[in-house]
Structure 1
Amino acid sequence: MPTTPASSPASSSLTATAPSGLALWRVRALTLAPLGAIAWLALVLADHPAISQYGLSALTLAMCAGMVAANTMPKHWLTPLAPGMQFARHHLLRLGVALYGLRLTFGAIAALGLGGVVVPLAMLVATLLFGMWVGTSFFGLSRREAILVSAGSAVCGAAAAIAVSSVVRTDDRQTAVAVATVVLFGTVGMLLYPWLYELATQQLHLSVTERAFGIFTGATLHEVAQVIASGKMVSDATADAAVVAKMVRVLALGPLLLIMALWPRTSWSDASGGTRNWRGLMKSVPWFAIGFVAVMALNSASMVPALLKPGLIALDNWLLACAMLAIGLHTRIGDLLRAGRKPLALAGVLFVFLMGVGALLCALLT
């Protein structure tokens, strides 16, 4: 009697997983919708004269709205939005950073001068070395924890901490603590820096240019999104200079990870005798930074159609606002304070170090 051929395990697996993948994207879209609406509202409010006169950008409004909601609403109210929040924090943020290259050209990098490249790189190296020394010598942290917190402050915030964790093989708790310190002090810096510019130029009457302050912001502030938001609270020129300086640090993440992976007899090699996690290393390469350079190259060559450019920039503003809102929704003050005293203390010392040494280098080299 003829029999019907049985389905292979592979085909059964594909049949089972395809709907779940589609369902996942449907959930992401549904949970992203309210975030997108609030981000759009932030863009509209930021253009209103009553708000724009205070220098509050849409990104700052979105971030603050998320933080207020995260710290006043019950956690179970926000839990259903988790898929959309995660998608915005990771994918929309990276796409938004890449598209930010539409605002810049290679001429903008040349306009920063040598100091615009030297200061961010010098701050990266100095913060890493200083953080490892202070963390291990004064706070008694392990070398892994010290370099994890230091990398988050020195390179590009949470993305750097997560990337470094894949190389030094830290556990989830250590990584979460490092990310928490970045969120806390990066958010403080994002709101503090525009006030510092106002203090320096209006109260102390120092000759600080928007370009120089942008380099300072990009060379010392933690997250890319925080750099953009803080810069825009001063001026568009400050934001542009800040992003270029920040991209110098972000692009240095790849070589830094490679050096750490190849470093002989490091204390962060795994128990199997130092086998490097090359797959994790490749996943950690900041491809969004490469995308930023590619988009900037297209813009420099005038290959972006003039009719499309305003719409793409508007889309980019919305993407970044969504990301900032999602980051704010993940920022719970109680969780940050429970992250651990020693890592928080190290991050606080590094925060002061970044501002002090960064201001000194900018004064000397820009």
Structure 2
Amino acid sequence: MSRKTLLRTGPLRREAVGPYGPLAPYGGDGLVLPAGFTGRVVARTGRRVAGLTWHAAPDGGACFPDGSGWIYVSNSDLPLLGGAAAIRFGPGGAVADAYRILSGTDLNRAGGATPWNTWLSCELGHRGRVFECDPYGTRAARPRLAMGRFKHEAAACDPDREVVYLTEGEADGCFYRFVPGDWGDLTEGRLEVLCVSGEWRPVPSPAALLKAARHQVEEARRFDGAEGCHYAGGVCYFTTKGDRGLWAYDAQTSTIERLCEGVRAVTAAPSGDLYVARDTMQIDVITPDRTISPFLLLEGHGASKPAGPAFSPDGSRLYFSSRRGPAGDPADGHTFEVAGPFRH
């Protein structure tokens, strides 16, 4: 995406009706959508999907091209038994296959996709790691330890500056970027932290054996429990669960703007629209002219949390998960697909 997803200045303007019109009455599976859109549950915790038992606590996700079809990858936010799984869709959207791509890891949260079509699965556990996974299921996942040992939440690749932004799930956490020695190879590189001045400074010891990464640079800027992040059009958007904010880091000016409240996860559509998943199990759309309006409601999931919003490569389908489902239990996670006339 060559242009900014949002304008640089000015407040967001809330509107009751968005670019797709008003939301229609209840449409099945708890989904309330604009006219012309349809939705379905593609996976449920504990149930079989193309021979795979779908994981509990589905969290971060992303889509990848696969010939004339596509793949949706989902993390599992379980202690010690987390990991990630993938669903392969055929050209018409039918489920063709499902399989694990990472197993036996700890509290895999938001994660992020790379431009070379791998999935970065991030551990939230103490001294958590980033694992680079193959969404196509042919290569084993590998830890990328140079990206630091801390409570990892999400990763977002910036191909313009050839860095990977990383968020940290601590109340006094930091916003990092990883500068690989060679773009496309995350084995080695330099971990940096954003400082109050807007500068990036190296983290002296990313392995954090004696001192936590977030405490190694005194001037580091703090964020209250950063979660999901997504890079689009020169901006890295990320959320903070402690103070319930959506932030926009402008990579060109190294400045940060707080956009709105109550957001848990974020993604962007090919149109430049930003889609934000809220605590209230609602997904809003933020257009490039800085208007924000409801796109989707999920009824009956009030004790859950939204996670993993991601568009199929052609922009025609939006995936996301209800991490705890209607029962409010990680063992009742639901993963949804919404299809319709999305703007391009």
Same fold (TM over 0.5): no
Provide the TM-score with structure 2 as the length reference. 0.26
Q: Which has the higher strand share?
A: 2
Provide the TM-score with structure 1 as the length reference. 0.25
